[in-house]
């Protein structure tokens, strides 16, 4: 075994190497005779900085993917490019594990590295579907449904005003056609004494209950309404808030406490009849395992381009199904990763909905040539791969400053 500096992208590590060269994998006959030639990224400035990923092959087939938003993703993907060039894009699982192994010293079990790997994994599903002439959901085992329910993450200029939230809920249902909504509860109430300690005083809880009461009463049975806390509260405060919300028709209460301590999460969930949802900040099946095995969640909410990609999300959904836990996919992405989530949602039995976070962004759907959401639902495409085509003019128009448009082919 040769030992080289870890900074060398072509280093041979002491860990197992899952590259085709060391595994004895050969490319032959038909779609097997394809190799990855390049990986490129471009950041689009939406309501988040979306990192779009393009994986190129010597067959002229290109796959589109997306990794979770934020700084560092393009640099990590560039770092991984030498590890997948020359690999067959159909070997999705092996390439995924190969990247996890190669990047293990840089934190590949969570965070930015696994979301960068996820972006490549989405693009590989797009390529594989195009090479085999099947939609991506078919690569995950087929579909349970022809359309995927979309829940709209709603916002107002006066986000702490319960009446404003109720007005927006009604508008989104009546004018935009959604029958599933989500609002934030970690908003200022005006009664805070010290937000750093995560403690909620009774007036703060009363304010949050008023938001929930007015939103749920306004939409009635026309829509389901969930509420997000963004990991903001202490265990005791989360318990008190969840109990106070029990009289109302809450679809779920999301991330009421920080995500690290699964023991506390289990106790909060078991202490209330209000459905509790977590999962977007817990990575891969390994991270989600205890939440599900210990029944510490009522609904699991993985984010496809963040927590490990399409196949990891499918595996999480299979584990959740053993405990009869539904899946509501968190999603703050461009149309690329949104459609990847739709394919996953179509392929799993326990899927509730996929989030849509850009309803106020007028050009979101312009990034692709095909329509995505209509009347609160996304049709599952029958086109090969992810079934969406990037509009390069729209991508270029909305690229972040300093970014370069990737090659079309």
Nearest partner of 332 among 138, 115, 92, judged by Cα: 115
d(CA 254, CA 1) in angstroms, rounded, equals 48
Position 105 scores a pLDDT of 86
Cβ atoms of 39 and 53 within 8 Å: the answer is: yes
pLDDT the model gives residue 4: 36
Q: How far apart are CA 289 and CA 302, in angstroms?
A: 12
* Separation CA 44–CA 405 (nearest Å): 10
Query: What is the three-class DSSP state of 341?
Result: helix
pLDDT of the chain along its 409 residues, tens only? Answer: 333 334 444 444 456 777 777 766 765 545 678 999 999 999 999 999 999 999 999 999 999 999 999 889 999 999 999 999 999 999 999 999 999 999 998 888 888 999 999 999 999 999 999 999 999 999 999 999 999 999 999 999 999 999 999 999 999 999 999 999 999 999 999 998 898 999 999 999 999 999 999 999 999 999 999 999 999 999 999 999 999 999 999 999 999 999 999 999 999 999 999 999 999 999 999 999 999 999 999 999 999 999 999 999 999 999 999 999 999 999 999 999 999 999 999 999 999 999 999 999 999 999 999 999 999 999 999 999 999 999 999 999 999 999 999 888 7
| H and E: helices and strands count for the chain | 14, 13
- The CATH architecture one would assign to domain 139-382 is Alpha-Beta Barrel (3.20)
CATH-assigned architecture of domain 20-134: 2-Layer Sandwich (3.30)
Sign of CA dihedral 184, 111, 296, 355: positive
Of the CA atoms within 13 Å of residue 101, those in its CB half-sphere come to 17
DSSP H or E segment with residue 78: helix 73-84
Yes or no: say if 335 and 365 are a contact pair by the CB < 8 Å rule: yes
Q: What pLDDT does residue 48 have?
A: 95
Asked if 284 contacts 337 with a C-beta cutoff of 8 angstroms, the reply is no
Closest CA to 335 of 360, 361, 372: 372
For 217-221, the CB contacts below 8 A with 24+ separation are 217/166, 218/166, 218/167, 218/169, 218/170, 219/169, 219/170, 219/173, 219/181
Which SS3 state, helix, strand or coil, does residue 225 take? strand
Least Cα distance to 96 among 117, 127, 66 occurs for 117
pLDDT on residue 162: 97
Phi and psi for 269 in degrees, rounded to 5?
-65, -45
Convert the pLDDT of each residue in 76-129 to its tens digit.
999 999 999 999 999 999 999 999 999 998 888 888 999 999 999 999 999 999
286 sits in which H/E element: helix 284-293
**123: DSSP letter:** H
User: Does residue 60 contact residue 36 with C-beta atoms inside 8 Å?
Assistant: no
Contact between 212 and 245 under an 8 Å Cβ cutoff? The reply is yes
Residue 241 host element (H or E): helix 235-244
Q: CA 368, 392, 340 angle in degrees (round to 5)?
A: 35
Helix (H, G, I), strand (E, B) or coil at 396: helix
3-class secondary structure, 56? strand
CA 399/CA 334 separation, integer angstroms: 13
Rounded Cα gap, residues 372 and 10, in angstroms? 40
State the pLDDT at residue 79. 96
Predicted confidence at residue 30, as pLDDT, reads 58
């Amino acid at each position: 075994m040769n030992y080289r500096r870890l900074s060398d992208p072509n280093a041979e590590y002491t860990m197992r190497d899952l590259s085709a060269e060391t595994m004895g994998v050969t490319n032959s006959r038909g779609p097997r005779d394809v190799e990855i030639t390049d990986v490129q990224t471009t950041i689009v400035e939406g309501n988040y900085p979306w990192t779009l990923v393009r994986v190129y092959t010597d067959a002229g087939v290109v796959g589109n993917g997306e990794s979770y938003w934020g700084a560092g993703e393009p640099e990590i993907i560039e770092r991984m490019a030498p590890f997948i060039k020359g690999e067959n894009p159909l070997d999705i699982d092996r390439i995924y594990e190969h990247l996890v192994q190669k990047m293990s010293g840089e934190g590949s079990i969570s965070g930015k590295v696994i979301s960068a790997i996820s972006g490549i994994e989405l693009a590989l599903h797009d390529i594989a579907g195009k090479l085999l002439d099947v939609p991506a959901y078919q690569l995950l085992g087929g579909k349970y449904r022809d359309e995927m329910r979309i829940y709209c993450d709603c916002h107002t200029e006066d986000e702490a005003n319960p009446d404003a939230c109720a007005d927006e809920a009604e508008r989104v249902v009546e004018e935009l056609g959604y029958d599933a909504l989500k609002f934030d509860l970690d908003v200022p109430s005006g009664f805070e004494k010290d937000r750093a300690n995560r403690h909620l005083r009774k007036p703060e809880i009363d304010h949050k209950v008023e938001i929930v009461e007015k939103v749920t009463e306004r939409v009635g049975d026309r829509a389901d309404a969930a509420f997000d806390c963004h990991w903001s509260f202490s265990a005791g405060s989360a318990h008190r808030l969840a109990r106070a919300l029990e009289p109302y028709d809450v679809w779920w209460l999301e991330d009421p406490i920080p995500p690290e301590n699964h023991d506390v999460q289990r106790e909060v969930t078991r202490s209330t009849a209000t459905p509790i949802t977590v999962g977007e900040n817990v990575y891969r099946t390994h991270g989600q395992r205890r939440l599900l095995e210990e029944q510490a969640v009522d609904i699991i909410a993985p984010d496809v381009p963040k927590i490990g990609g399409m196949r990891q999300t499918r595996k999480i959904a299979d584990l959740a199904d053993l405990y009869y836990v539904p899946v509501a996919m968190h999603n703050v992405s461009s149309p690329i990763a949104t459609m990847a989530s739709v394919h996953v949602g179509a392929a799993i039995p326990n899927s509730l909905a996929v989030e849509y976070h850009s309803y106020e962004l007028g050009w979101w759907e312009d990034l692709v040539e095909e329509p995505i959401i209509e009347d609160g639902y996304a049709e599952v495409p029958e086109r090969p791969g992810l079934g969406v085509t990037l509009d390069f003019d729209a991508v270029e128009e909305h690229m972040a400053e300093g970014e370069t448009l990737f090659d079309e082919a």
